[in-house]
Chains A and B, each alone.
Chain A
Amino acid sequence: MPDLKRIKAMAQKELFHILRDPRTLVILFLMPLLQLIIFGYAMNMEIRDVPLVIADYSGNSASKELIRVFSNTRYFVVVPQAEGSLEPETLFRNRSAQASLVIPPGFMESRFDLLLQIDAGDQNTAQMVQSYATAIVASLGAKLSAGIDLRPVVIFNPDLKSSFFFVPGLIAMILVMICALLTSISISREKELGTMEQILVSPVSATEILLGKVLPYIALGLMDALLILGVGMLLFQVPFRGDFTVFLGFTFLYVLTALCIGLMVSTIAKTQQAAMMMALAITLLPTILLSGFMFPIASMPPLLQKITYIVPARYYLQIIRGIMLKGNSIAQLYQSGLTLAGMSLLLLVVAARRFKLRLG
C-alpha cells in the first residue's frame, strides 16, 4: 500500500529539482507562449500584396479595366516595369516581381488570351496566385451576367484565425514535452548520477518513487496547458464551446499516455543525453509533424498517413479541437476517445512490466 506521506516527500524532492533550475522552467513556460503569439499573429497563409508586373501591349479600355481590377484587390500590387523588357524569370530571380501578366495587342477586340507567368519557387503561393487570378478574370466575364454567385460560409472559425487552430495543438505539444521528455530525463539523471541507488535503499517502495516522481510533472504540465488555454482565450478570443469536465477527462488519458512513453524511454536510455534524443524522436517530433498539429494529414503520402494512426496526439487533437471549437459531445468523439483510452491502457501495462527500478 503506497504511503501518502512518502509520496509527498518524493514529490517535494522532485519539485526542488525543478525549481532549482529556473532557466529551464522559464523556457518551458515562455516557449509555448511565444509560439502561441507567433502562430496567432504571424502564421497567415492568405497571400497579399504579391508584386505583379503587367505588360500591356493593348492599351485600350478593356486592358485598362483589367489592370484596374487587379490593382484594386488586396492580393496584388501592380509594380511598374522599370527595366524595360526584362524576362519574367529574371524579374523573379531579382525578386522584384512574383507574377507577370501579358495583355496581347487588341485585347477583347481580336485577342482573348492572357498570359500569366508565376514564380513557382514557393508552390503554395503560386497556386493561390493562380486561383485568385482565375477568379478575378472570371469575375470580369461574369460581371455582365450569368456566372455563379459563390457564397462561402465558414463555420466554427469564421475569421479563419490561426490561433483557434494552434491553441489546442500547443496544449497537446506542451503536455507531451513535459510529461514524456522531462520525466524521462529526470529518471535517467538519477540513474546517471547514481542517486537512484540511494533512493532505492531507502524504505520508499517502487510505486511510491514512481508516483512521487511523476506527480510534479503532471501538475507542471497541466499548469502550462491551462496557461496556454487562458492566454488563448483572453488574448485571441479562442472559444471553449464544449464541456470542461470531458476535456479534463480526455486530457488525463493523454497525460497518462505521455507519461508511459516517458517511462519506457527511461528504461531504455542510460544517459540524459540519450533520453533526450529518444524522447524527442519518439514523442515530440511525431506530435508536431504527424498529428495534424500544423500539417494536414490528408495531404501526406499514404504511408505516412498510416503511421499517424499510432500517434496519440492525433486522437487527442481531434478530441480537444472538437470540444473547444465544435462543442462536440462524447457521442461525437467516442471513436477517437476509445482509441486514446485503449492506447493509454496498453502503454500502461507495457510500461508497468518494463519499468523495474533496478540498476544495471
Chain B
Amino acid sequence: MRALGVIRSFLIKEFRQILRSREMLVVLFALPAIQLLLMGFAVTNEVKNLSLCFFDYDRSSLSRALAASFQTGGRFRVLPAPPDAGPEELLANWYCKVVIVIPRGFERDFNTGRQPGLQVISDGIDGNTAALANSYIGGTLADFVQKRMQSRDTAFLKARNQEAGKINLITRMSFNPDLKSSAGIIPGIMAVLVTVTSMLLSAISLVKEKELGTLEQLLVTPAKKQQILAGKLIPYLLLTLAQMQVALLLARLFFWIQIAGSYTELMLFSLVYLFTTLGLGILISTRVASQQEAMFFSWFVMVVSILLSGFFVPIRNMPAGIRLIAFFNPLSHYMTVLREIVVKGSSLMQLSRELIILSVSGLVIFGISIASFRKRV
C-alpha cells in the first residue's frame, strides 16, 4: 500500500513538471498534430500530375485518341511539345519527366496488325517515380488497346483469331476502394508518433534529472528504484495514449479515416508496444550524459527504424538481408498492426503473430533496460 502511495506522489510531481511548461504541451500535442497533418498531405509515393509530352509524328485519329487517353485520371499532365527541342533535351531541361514518341504510320500499322512500336523515354533520376510511371503507361496502353479491340467488329477479330483480345479484366479494390494513399500513410504516422513520444520524452526526462543532479536527490529518498522508474514512465505512457486519441480524432476529421477494426484491440497492442519503446528510452538515458546527446541518439534510432519499418516501402520489396533486419525492428510489427486494424479491420486472431513478437520484444527490452538502470544509476 505504501509503495503505491510513493508512486502516486511521483506521478503528481511528474505531471506537475510536465504541465508547468507550456513548451512541453506544445511538444506533446501541437507538434504531433502539425506533423500528422503535414506528413499526411506531403508524404505520398503516389505518382500524380506527372508531366508528359507527346511527339506525334503520325497525326492520325488513333494517335490523338492515344494521347487523349492519358489525359484523364489526373495521373499525367500532358504538356505541349515545344517545336525546337528533341525528346532528350526536354528531359535534360526539366521541362517534363516522360516523352512518348508516336512514329509515322502508327495508325496504319495498328489497323493492319503489324504491331507499331511506341517509344517511351523517361527521366530515371527518381527511380521509383520512373518505375511507377512506366507501369502506369503500360497499364493505360493495355487498356487502350483492349478497348480498341473490343470495339472492333467480330469479323475483324475472327479473321485474326483474336479471341484473347476480348478478355475483360474487372478489378475490385478491397478495404480502400478510392485508393487514398492516406489510408496507409496516416496509421504509419501514428505508429511513428507513438514511438517518438514515448521513447524520446522518457529518455530526455530521465537525462534531464541526471544532468541537473536531481536524480541523485530522488535516489536518496526512501523510494525504491523501481518506484522512481514507475513514476517516470507511467506519465509518458498515459500521455502517449492521450496523444494517440488526438491523432485518431484528427485522422477522422481531416482524412476521413475511421478505425475499421476494434478500438480495444488497437489500444491493447499499443500498450504492449509501449513497453518496448519506454524500455528503449530508459536504455538510452542510462548511456548518454546530456539532453543533446539523448536527442541525437534517439533520433538516430528513429530514422533507421522508420526507414526499415515498411512505412515508405513495403518490406517485401527489400533484399533478404535487410528483410531480416526489419524483422528485428519492433516498429515494423507495430506498423503492420496499426494498418491492419485501422484499414482492414483485422482481428486479434489474425494478428496473433504480431502480438507474440511485440510481447516478447517488450519483455526482453524492458527487462534489459530495468537491469541496466539498476546497475548504472
Interface residues of A (CB under 8 A from B): 21, 23-24, 27, 30-31, 34-35, 38-39, 41-50, 88-89, 92-95, 108, 112-128, 130-135, 137-162, 164-165, 185, 272-274, 276-277, 281, 285, 289-290, 294-296, 298-301, 304, 318, 321-322, 325-328, 332
Contacts and interface: CB of A to CB of B under 8 A. Distances in A.
Interface stretch (B2-10, B47-55, B236-244): B47-55
Contacts of A31: 300, 303
Contacts of B170: 113-116
Given A35-B303, A95-B340, A148-B145, 5 more contacts: A30-B300, A42-B308, A126-B176, A134-B142, A154-B130
A304 B162 contact: no
Contacts of B165: 141-142, 144, 146
A137 B166 CA distance: 10
B373 interface: no
Given A148-B115, A152-B137, A328 B92 contact: yes
Interface in B68-102: 77, 88, 91-94
B120 A153 contact: yes
A38 B46 contact: no
Contacts of B94: 318, 322, 332
A30, A143, A157, A322 pick with most chain B CB within 10 angstroms: A157
Contacts, number: 337
Contacts of B49: 298-299
A320 to B, nearest CB: 11
Contacts of B176: 120-121, 123, 126
A274 B313 CA distance: 33
A143 B161 CA distance: 11
A43 B344 contact: no
Nearest to A107: B167
Contacts of A121: 174-176, 183-184, 339-340, 343-344
Q: Which of B48, B110, B125, B312 is most buried by chain A, counting CB atoms within 10 A of its CB?
A: B125
Interface string B171-206: 111111101110110000000000000000000000
Contacts of A290: 42
Most buried by A among B92, B126, B288: B126
A139 B164 CA distance: 9
Contacts of B268: none
Interface string B331-363: 000000001100111110010000000000000
19 contacts: A45-B313, A89-B344, A120-B173, A120-B174, A127-B132, A130-B173, A135-B142, A141-B166, A141-B167, A142-B165, A148-B117, A148-B141, A149-B118, A155-B121, A162-B128, A164-B125, A164-B127, A296-B126, A299-B49
Nearest to B126: A165
B168 A127 contact: no
Interface residues of B, number: 109
Contacts of B146: 138, 141
B47 A296 contact: yes
A117 to B, nearest CB: 5
A321 B126 CA distance: 10
Contacts of A151: 117-120
Given A41-B322, A152-B120, A47 B43 contact: no
Nearest to A331: B93
A191 to B, nearest CB: 15
B267 interface: no
Interface stretch (B222-230, B271-279, B291-299): B291-299
Given A27-B296, A145-B160, A156-B91, A38 B141 contact: no
A295 B296 contact: no
Q: Which interface residue of B93, B94, B291 has the most chain A CB atoms within 10 A?
A: B94
B149 interface: yes
B27 interface: yes
A150 B179 contact: no
Contact of A44 (B41, B123, B175, B318): B318
B88 A117 contact: no
Contact of B314 (A94, A118, A125, A281): A125
Interface string B309-321: 0001110111100
Contacts of A39: 307
A45 B181 contact: no
B172 A117 contact: yes
A300 B180 CA distance: 13
Nearest to A66: B167
A164 B132 contact: no
Nearest to B160: A145
A332 B124 contact: no
A123 B168 contact: no
Given A44-B313, A121-B175, A112 B166 contact: yes
A257 to B, nearest CB: 21
A233 to B, nearest CB: 16
Nearest to A130: B171
Contact of B41 (A34, A300, A332): A300
